A and B are shown apart, each in its own frame.
Chain A
Amino acid sequence: GAVVSQHPSWVICKSGTSVKIECRSLDFQATTMFWYRQFPKQSLMLMATSNEGSKATYEQGVEKDKFLINHASLTLSTLTVTSAHPEDSSFYICSAPRTAFSYEQYFGPGTRLTVT
């Protein structure tokens, strides 16, 4: 089956610094990728839709300048949390559909971000 990877799996950073999370489709090309945020014991909340070669589409309430998304290639999308604060600590998950018209998503293993 299709595989989506994320790197790093766990990152700790200091308040005020920026951290980048990568999402890669390993055996297929993904023109669209999705970024989710999951707080402890809560559901996945869609943050943004990452589109290859164009600007990301952010969900209402998500700060575009804080969560920078870049989808520079068909296999890589990055999420950069800028000027991170402790409240940004969360579990971030990406997903990608197998094809442009596929409704089924393949999920990455997630990245745990801790901001101290």
Chain B
Amino acid sequence: AQTVTQSQPEMSVQEAETVTLSCTYDTSESNYYLFWYKQPPSRQMILVIRQEAYKQQNATENRFSVNFQKAAKSFSLKISDSQLGDTAMYFCAFTRPANNNDMRFGAGTRLTVKP
């Protein structure tokens, strides 16, 4: 079974500081993709960042970066210079081309950025 684990149900961070959300996954596939999605109160899923498993270089999108450790099956998200608008649920997700690219999600981490 392919699983995604987020071990931090809730986290908080002071505005302008840095926070790291953890995610581990389990798969026997060699070709797969990893994502972090943000779900604000509107509940619209917003892609934050993605990482192709075959790429060794960690993905970066402005204030968001990942630490992808393939051997350890770890995919953490670092948010730098946290902003109040970053307050949301964050889901780690995994998809496999071999299975129609269906997406599996972790349980989520509720992040609160405090002023």
> Once A and B bind, how many residue pairs between them come within 8 Å at the CB atom?
48
Q: Are B101 and A103 in contact (CB under 8 A)?
A: yes
A103 lies within 8 A of B33 (CB) = yes
- On chain A, the number of residues with a Cβ less than 8 Å from chain B's Cβ atoms is 22
Binds A, one of B12-20, B41-49, B57-65, B73-81: B41-49
Answer yes or no: B91 CB below 8 A from chain A CBs: yes
B100 in contact with A44 (CB, 8 Å): no
Among A20-28, A74-82, A90-98, the stretch in contact with B: A90-98
Contacts A32-B101, A44-B91, A104-B47 given; 15 further ones with Cβ under 8 A?
A32-B100, A34-B102, A43-B91, A44-B105, A45-B105, A91-B43, A93-B43, A93-B45, A97-B101, A101-B97, A103-B33, A104-B33, A105-B95, A105-B103, A109-B43
Residues of B that sit less than 8 Å from A by CB: 33, 42-45, 47, 50, 91, 95, 97, 100-108
